[in-house]
Structure 1
Amino acid sequence: MTDLPSGAGAAAPPPPAAPEMTHREVLQALTGLLLGMFVSMLAATVVSTSLPVIIHDLEGDQAAFTWVVTATLLTTAISTPIWGKLADLFNRKLLIQLAIAIFVLATAAAGFSQNPETLIAFRAVQGVGAGGLAALSQVIMADIISPRERGRYMGLFGAVMAVATIGGPLLGGVITDTLGWRWNFFVALPFAVVALIMLQRTLHIPPRAKRTSHIDYFGIVLLSTSVALLLIWVTLAGDSFEWWSLESVLMVGGALLGTALFIVVELRSREPLVPLSMFRNRTFTLAVIASIATGIAMFGASVFLSQYMQLARGATPTEAGVMTIPMIAGLLVASVGVGALITRFGHWKPYLIAGAIALSAGSYLLSTIEYDTHFALVSVYMFLLGAGVGTTMQNLVLIVQNTANPTEMGVASSGVTFFRSLGGTIGVAVMGAALAARVTELMDDRRDALMAALAGLGEQGVDIATQLQAGTLPQVSAMPEVVRVIFEDVYAQGISQAFLIAVPFAVLSLIAIVFLPNTPLTRMTTSERQRAGEADLATVSVDEGMQALTATGSAHDDGAAQQPEATRDDRD
């Protein structure tokens, strides 16, 4: 037998394809993942309605309220691409268990906070775990469910989202009104223990080939520094220092310099944190642009709608949880319904365009609300915004996973999630700064009316005036009617202006989605695509080897054919 030329047989045969998972096996694998997502969402939403009360009790101001939210979003945004890169290098099952542990322990620790600064610090640690859950859940889903079949299981995720996002605020309101707000931070602990056990028992991810790992530590530091400087500047400018000042120049300049250095490092890194080559993919780039607006709408709505209900409509935490149900209903109906339609018909683009239109309309309409706007209209506006978020949020990740290189699935998925979180973080910071500035301006205009109202309340008026002078966020539901109307009007105008900031980004999202390539969804999971790619590579290697062997044989035959001619020439 003739030996193959050197290098022709270098490629090992592809590993045998694993049998396709049945519906029951997929459900078993998703059990722990769904419970882990439920834990993270419950721990986040259960606190949302009680945040105004928490900040009031801890004697924090509007800036503290914004930073309690922004700190979590900041560390979520920064850690998401890091978790995504780790998912391409290490055991994904172990990573998601670690993320749950970090998230819930930090959440429980936040329950012991005695001042806004401590709460903000623990919420920042909480965001590290949240980044892991956001990135890893998407990557693991791609491991076991194909893009085309993903919608079939969106009903389960929709049910989990519904229970957590509807039940969380309601539960948080009841706990705050009965037991006290600190218990909101402890309610997720038993669920977390069960989630860790279920993940260990039910989640079985197809094995992947081992590869040499390298962490881009310098890139992590530069990314964290750049994002943090930008957010600190947005939050403090106009309050602690002027927009045009030396502090602004240093912070913005530092953020721009850090971003430039980050790009240089990523271009030169052996294992970049965010591979910039992915931006050559038109689908990835446009999905990132669209995700920024989705993040602003999603996080902005969750933060400022709760404030609107309590500060502009005088609702208690429990009532605020009930009043935000229309938005959650829109999110649930859209995510489940659109997911099922995508699986059934295979078309995704018309639904995403419709979702972006709903997102734009909902954002604009919410920018028109006042303290006495009929609640039926507010409910319609919230439903539209929720439907827009529910349609675009998960499906933008889905279409990126559909075209991403299987070996970069972690960084591709986390890349979209990162920019969504980053957009939400910056959006909440900008909206919070605009709200604080507008409220300050309006309170100055209404100072005489407010002082007259407080003067007629005696000792109660003195207590309220003392809290306002200290900058403490007011508890509007507990105020007398004569004062409450003033605060409701002021905060309604401030919050409506904050929502106006989200409108241009929502329109930009619509434009980006319109230009997304309409690539059909594959029926192969990430693992199957990777095995198919390895099989193709092995086939190409064997074909090249056979071609080389054929060429060698042809040359030998030509030499043999020419040999008799040479012999005859010699004889002659």
Structure 2
Amino acid sequence: MKTLAAKPQPDAMTHREILEALSGLMLVLFVAMISSTIVSTALPRILGELNGTQTQYTWVVTATLLAATATTPIWGRLADMFSKKLLVQIAIGIFVVGSLLAGFAQDSGQLIAARAVQGIGVGGLQALVQIVIAAMISPRERGRYNGYLGAVMAVATITGPLLGGIIVDTSWLGWRWCFFIGVPIAVLAFALLQWTLHIAVPARTKQKIDYLGASLIAVGVSVLLIWVSFVGNNFDWMSWQSAAFVLPGVAILAAAVQVEKRAEHPVVPLDIVKQRTPALAIIASLAVGMAMFGGSVFLGQYFQIGRGYTPTEAGLLTIPMMAGVMIATTVTGQLVTRTGKVKAYIVAGTVVLVGGFLGLGFIDHQTPLWQLGLGMLLVGAGVGMTMQNLVLAVQNTASLRDLGAATGAVTFFRSLGGTIGVSVLGAVLATRVQSNITEHLAAAGMPAGKSSGGGSLNLSALPEAVQAIVRAAYGDATGHIFLISAGIGVVGLIAALLLPSIVLRTSLDLPEQAATTPAAKPEPVLAGRSGRD
């Protein structure tokens, strides 16, 4: 008698079926990535027209990352319980609503709130794409398909800044189209997924989402990130205001850990996280996320405010970083599939990443462009060699039934790292810029009052002499945050070196789990249309 348990083989889906399913998933990933990259070069112009400040600039980025971070574990656990395809489509719908709200925003506060809504959808899309792919393809074979995803990510990160620059530089479009343009792409992705994605629906279970744990994690992280955004600028590191943020934030996160320990189905599965390989991979992901997001998000600001380039030119100047991501992801993906090993590429990637940030750590407002390009190429290559392989390392240790939670956990910590990185480095940059402006104004014999533009990004409203000082201040301060990023990257390198030798499995499920899976469970059914979305 033929049983369902016999079906979960690595070739359960043909190469053609996988590529058909990937077409919609890659478009989903593209729209999620482009929503962030398209504003990277346009944001200085957007905040300038909305009369925003440096702190608000940071929070337009942080709001999306924070919302994505807080909701990623929930998306991951939901994927273990309900239709993955339906969840992806729901995430697309939330993303579309957030994009429309952002496009119609009338001030910086509304834009930040809309970006938070958009971030909920982005968090779902980024996590669910990884989960769906992991449910279709074994870890060993996933390497070459990750190369396709890496190429899509690189194209999105290359075209995003360029497209954002063109949009804000085109008078008949305007910056609002940076948000509107993703809507038709998202709708197309929704339709394509409906047609191409057919994957098993998990069996109905009595599992419950750990909403208390998820809420505590979100609130605790948010409190600490709000503190990081204001400390050093609005109040001192050692002050009662800092204590009022830090102590409650740490207490809430400690309570979240206790809740997760007792939960039957925790949002962040501690039994997986505390294993050596996932724990070290998560630490490395945290460090890489902090370094990558925290460092690269300010490049567009550096080129425009620090160097005086247009948004379109700034987008073109970031191409070396994106080329590094695309080449490294594609090449290492093929090598991982061929060898089944990932540690060497993770270690090499973190070394290259640290080297790239060190190269960018000594830039100022007059650094030659070839030097900047080389540093960005190395950073991109380091990211391409590490990010997907760190996810693979964690997924390789998880059973099929816990795949969503495990993927959500590593994505959560990577996003958390990015959120912390943007917040911390944004606060450091704002403080250093303000100090440089005050110092240079004093040297020029000008008072550092409101007319100095201290925190404003609307340079066109400033006197020409003050504009030159502000540009130099931004250009000279940016190198400092790249040095910090290099230091953070070293933490990722240490974690990568401590990873055990990892050999990727060729089966969808862990061997012991596949052997004990009841035949009545439809989750492993990946061939044919029965029991699928």
Scaled by the length of structure 1, the TM-score of the pair is 0.86
* Distance in structure 1 (CA, Å) of the matches to 2:286 and 2:366: 31
Q: Which residue of 2 aligns with 1:523?
A: 506
Whichever residue aligns with residue 82 of structure 1, its letter is: I
Alpha-carbon deviation of 1:516? 0.9
Give, in angstroms, the shift of residue 533 of structure 1.
Answer: 3.9
Distance of 2:81 and 2:198 partners within structure 1: 17
Residue number in structure 2 paired with 1:17 = 7
Match in the other structure for 2:496: 513
Residue 302 (structure 1) aligns with: 296
- The answer to whether residue 214 in structure 2 is matched with residue 231 in structure 1 is no
Q: 2:53 aligns with which of 36, 48, 61?
A: 61
Instruction: Please point out which of 461, 472, 497 is paired with 2:480.
Output: 497
SS at 1:59 equivalent:
coil
- Aligned partner letter, 2:398: A
State the alpha-carbon separation in 2 of the partners of residues 106 and 294 from structure 1: 27
1:137 aligns with 2:121: no
Segments of 5+ residues of structure 2 without an aligned counterpart are: 522-533
- How many angstroms does 1:297 deviate by? 2.1
Closer/same/farther in 2, CA of residues 526 and 44 from structure 1, 3 Å limit: farther
Is the contact between residue 135 and residue 414 of structure 1 (CA under 8 Å) also seen in structure 2? yes
Computing the radius of gyration over CA atoms, which structure comes out larger, 1 or 2?
1
Matches of 2:44 and 2:375, distance apart in 1: 23
Task: Answer whether contact 1:467 1:474 (CA < 8 A) is retained.
Answer: no
> CA offset at residue 244 of structure 1?
2.0
Task: Give the structure 1 partner of residue 328 of structure 2.
Answer: 334
**1:472 matched to 2:456:** yes
Q: Does 1:110 align with 2:94?
A: no
Identity %: 49
Tell me, what secondary structure is at the counterpart of 2:5?
coil
| Residue of structure 1 in register with 2:525 after alignment | none
User: Secondary structure at the residue paired with 2:484?
Assistant: helix
- C-alpha displacement at 1:531, in angstroms? 4.0
Matched to 2:156, the amino acid is A
Q: Residues 530 and 209 from structure 1, CA distance in 2 versus in 1: closer, same or farther, beyond 3 angstroms?
A: farther
Q: How does 1:232-381 map to 2 (within 5 A)?
A: 232-381=226-375
Residues 5-84 of structure 1: matches in 2 within 5 Å?
15-17=5-7, 20-84=12-76
Distance 1:529 1:183 in 2: 51
In the TM superposition, what whole-angstrom CA distance separates every residue of 1:426-448 from its partner, at most 9, and x where no partner exists?
11111011011111111111113
Answer yes or no: is the 8 Å Cα contact 2:345–2:385 preserved in 1. yes
Match of residue 432 from structure 1: 426
Q: Distance in 2 between matches of 1:527 and 1:199?
A: 28
Q: 2:304 is matched by which residue type in structure 1?
A: Q
Q: For each residue in 1:504-541, what CA deviation from the matched residue of structure 2 results, as whole angstroms up to 9, or x when unmatched?
A: 22111111111111121111224998544427999xxx
Instruction: Tell me, yes or no, if the aligned pair for 1:364 and 1:503 is still in contact at 8 Å.
Output: yes
Question: Displacement, 1:241?
Answer: 2.5
1:266, 1:100 → 2: CA distance? Answer: 28
Q: In structure 2, which of residues 79, 89, 92 is the aligned counterpart of residue 97 of structure 1?
A: 89
**In 2, Cα distance between the equivalents of 1:295 and 1:149?**
25
Q: Deviations over 1:257-278 (max 9, x none)?
A: 1011111111111221112122
* Mapped partners of 2:167, 2:519: distance in 1: 58
Q: Greater CA deviation, 441-450 or 512-521?
A: 441-450
Structure 2 Cα separation of the partners of residues 52 and 325 of structure 1:
19
Whole-angstrom CA distance in 1 between matches of 2:193 and 2:451: 47
Q: Within 5 Å, give how 1:171-190 maps onto structure 2.
A: 171-178=163-170, 179-190=173-184
1:367 shift after superposition = 1.3
* CA distance 1:450–1:168, shift in 2 (3 Å): farther
Q: Deviations over 1:238-296 (max 9, x none)?
A: 22223222221121000111011111111111221112122331111000100011111
Instruction: Describe the superposition over 1:294-333 as per-residue Cα deviations: whole angstroms up to 9, x where unpaired.
Output: 1112212331111111111111100000000011111111
Sort the Cα spacing of 1:283 and 1:381 in 2 relative to 1 into closer, same or farther, 3 A. same
Contact 2:350/2:493, CA 8 A, preserved across alignment: yes
Q: Could you say if the C-alpha distance between residues 13 and 413 of structure 1 is closer, same or farther in structure 2, counting changes exceeding 3 Å? A: same
Structure 2: how far apart are the matches of 1:389 and 1:78?
23
Q: Deviations over 1:396-440 (max 9, x none)?
A: 001111111222111111111111110110111110110111111
Letter in structure 2 aligned against 1:365: G
**Preserved CA contact (<8 Å) 1:356 1:392:** yes
In 2, distance between residues paired with 1:470 and 1:524? 58
Tell me, in whole angstroms, the C-alpha distance in 2 between the residues paired with 1:259 and 1:520: 34
Give the alignment partner of residue 212 of structure 2, picking from 218, 241, 255. 218
CA shift digits 1:105-160 (9 cap, x unpaired): 20121011111110000111111111101211111110111111112223321331
Aligned partners of 1:256 and 1:155: how far apart in 2?
Answer: 39
**1:186-205 matched pairs, under 5 angstroms:** 186-205=180-199
- Secondary structure at the counterpart of residue 297 of structure 2: helix
Of 458, 477, 486, the match for 2:469: 486
Deviating more after overlay: 109-118 vs 35-44: 35-44
Determine if contact 2:436/2:473 at 8 Å carries over to the other structure.
yes
Letter matched to residue 278 of structure 1? I
Query: Aligned equivalents of 1:466 and 1:121: distance in 2?
Result: 27
1:386 aligned to which of 376, 380, 388:
380
Distance in 2, Cα, partners of 1:100 & 1:134: 11
Q: Say whether the 8 Å CA contact 2:441–2:469 is kept in structure 1.
A: no
Structure showing the higher helix proportion among its residues: 1
1:292 touches 1:505 (CA, 8 Å); kept in 2? no
Matched-pair contact (CA < 8 Å) for 1:144–1:526: no
CA distance in 1, matches of 2:16, 2:462: 55
Q: Is the 8 A contact 2:224 2:249 kept in 1?
A: yes
1:167 aligns to 2:183 (yes or no): no
Distance in 2 between residues matched to 1:185 and 1:451, nearest whole Å:
42
- The residue type paired with residue 471 of structure 2 is E
Q: Which amino acid aligns with 1:234?
A: V
User: 1:347 offset after TM fit, Å?
Assistant: 2.5
Alpha-carbon deviations, 1:76-132, whole Å to 9, x = none? 111111111111111111001111111122012101111111000011111111110
Maintained 8 Å contact 2:166/2:311: yes
* CA shift in 2, pair 1:74/1:427, >3 Å: same
Tell me the CA shift for residue 451 of structure 1: 5.8
Give the TM-score, by structure 2 length. Answer: 0.92
Letter in 1 for 2:125: L
Q: Is the 8 A contact 1:14 1:531 kept in 2?
A: no
Superposition misfits of 4+ residues, deviation over 3 angstroms: 12-16, 448-452, 464-471, 478-485, 526-533, 535-538
Residues 203 and 241 (structure 1 numbering): CA distance in 2 closer, same or farther, change over 3 Å?
A: same
Gaps of 5+ in 1: 1-11, 455-463, 539-572
Query: How far 1:468 sits from its partner (Å)?
Result: 4.0
Deviation at 1:26, TM superposition (A): 0.5
Q: Does 1:147 align with 2:151?
A: no
Instruction: Select 1:441's aligned residue among 414, 435, 443.
Output: 435
Higher mean Cα deviation, 225-234 or 336-345?
Answer: 336-345
